[in-house]
A and B are shown apart, each in its own frame.
Chain A
């Protein structure tokens, strides 16, 4: 049986397999982990968003937000990263089919991405999507 967390784990594995993200941070809310130069990490924040009905079945809806964090090797590397790995990763994450992992009934809200933000040497952006989970 698929749960919010089991889907989150599948998505984490898919992100690591198909993007430049190499691992996920353990505590995305505290933001205290140290990223090494050139490293790209993910932060996963799933929340229950309600239910959707389809043919007499209620499907739980999960809102999944994946934050991608990249620490520049050098402050001047921003353009290279934005035009290279970041653009490639975003193309993967913005494709609705990426999110249809096992246990997903359908994509309720297509992926949305916020504007990438740079704080210090770390560039961060978040992709959010709403998925109906097969109970």
Chain B
């Protein structure tokens, strides 16, 4: 598996540890395809990669993984708690299972239509490794 694949796997593993009963996807899926038992669901929407050349033939590689968490019903506070739990789990596993040197986590609650039964949380994990 590629390094990016390992990082995505590690991020989803941390999410699974942080949220009880969550299901995960490594790519975007339509919530209409998800069944009731699939919620809460975490999916990776995008993975960006960039490399910066440093002195002495070093290279700083940075991956940015962004995704969303969907829950059916519940309150915004529930979603906020989920996002905070993921943040705590990523902080405890800052090397993402040893795949990178360090990582940081950020999240926000997405605005939902008042008629929608779904709540969305957005997360971004930035991971860095110098080789």
Contacts and interface: CB of A to CB of B under 8 A. Distances in A.
Instruction: Say whether A associates with B.
Output: yes
A18 to B, nearest CB: 23
Q: Of B54, B55, B56, which is in contact with the most chain A CB atoms at under 10 Å from its CB?
A: B56
B55 A122 contact: yes
B31 interface: no
Contacts of A35: 56-57
A58 B101 CA distance: 54
Nearest to B55: A31
A35 B102 CA distance: 21
Interface in A66-124: 69, 71, 75, 119-122
Interface in B13-72: 54-58, 60
A122 B58 contact: yes
Contacts of A69: 56
B95 to A, nearest CB: 9
B102 A120 contact: no
Contacts of B101: 75
B106 interface: no
A108 to B, nearest CB: 30
Interface in B74-121: 101-102
Contacts of A121: 58, 130
B55 A119 contact: yes
Interface residues of B, number: 9
B101 to A, nearest CB: 4
Given A75-B130, A120-B130, A33 B58 contact: no
Interface in A27-63: 31-35
A74 to B, nearest CB: 8
A122 B54 CA distance: 10
B54 A119 contact: yes
Nearest to B94: A76
Given A71-B56, A119-B56, A119-B58, 11 more contacts: A31-B55, A31-B56, A32-B56, A32-B57, A33-B56, A33-B57, A35-B57, A69-B56, A119-B54, A119-B55, A121-B130
